[in-house]
Amino acid sequence: MNPLKKFLFELQEITYLTYFAAARVFRKPRYFYESLNQMDIIGVGSLPIIILTGLFTGGVLTLQGFPTLEYYGGQSEAGKMVAFTLIRELGPVLTALMVSGRSGSAISAELGSMQVSQQIDAMRSLGTDPYRKLVAPRILALMLMLPLLTVAADVFGIFGGGIVAKNLFGHDYTAFLTSVRNGITIEDIIGGIIKPIVFGLIIGSISCYKGLNTKGGTVGVGRSTTAAVVNSSIVVIITDFFLSRGLQHILGT
């Protein structure tokens, strides 16, 4: 199939899948415990890697940026620099990429295994809707957990930046936190929450689509998992640009 036609076809199918899943969220039966279980797997399970990512990202931002700020006499703004960069950009994007690699791949592999072993067909024959049972809880869990994980990445990133500023450059930690407080606006926080919600929708939709359309046995599961992670990561990065531009226009920042 022509690459452009394939892209448009998959975009259409993913849109349909997302619509069908969203339309079934508020209809009975509601698989509350399935959603709660996915929140635990995605949220709590991803927390350690998100904390490490945020901590060292904030540390390296300070490590690389503090000498430049010091050269221009702006070392008092180090906290603002770290917080601004994390909350607006690196926090949401890095969190989405980490969750895509960890949870997106797991979702695609799980649904792919169910597809090739005909468990999905068995569910349909028994009258269970796979979109309501399998897709909706996973997308919902990602959309709810990704903003919380992003907040954790931001907080630990600022903490890591403060540790590096204090121990490597002798910068006062209180002054660092004061700079953080003075540098963060409500528009930054709103933008930093909207992005991961959209990213969660993207990761969940693509991962579920790739999993449910797995073909070719166990080899196909591997291909679907790889495609889910790669496609999710690419779409997240592309969407981030347009989201950033849109938020600049809407929020005036």
If one counts the domains in the chain, the total is 1
Domain assignment present for residue 8? The answer is: no
Banded pLDDT at 57 (limits 50, 70, 90): very high
Domain assignment present for residue 175? The answer is: yes
* Closest C-alpha to 195, from 155, 238, 227: 238
Domain assignment present for residue 151? The answer is: yes
Mean residue pLDDT across the chain: 89
Q: What is the pTM of this model?
A: 0.91
| 183 CB neighbour count, 10 Å cutoff | 17
Domain assignment present for residue 230? The answer is: yes
Domain assignment present for residue 15? The answer is: no
Domain assignment present for residue 181? The answer is: yes
Residues 48 and 154 sit within 8 Å (Cβ to Cβ): no
CA-to-CA dists, residue 188 to 94, 134, 192, angstroms: 17, 34, 6
Domain assignment present for residue 26? The answer is: no
Domain assignment present for residue 13? The answer is: no
The per-residue pLDDT for range 11-33, each reduced to its tens digit, is 888 888 888 888 777 777 777 88
164: containing domain: 31-251
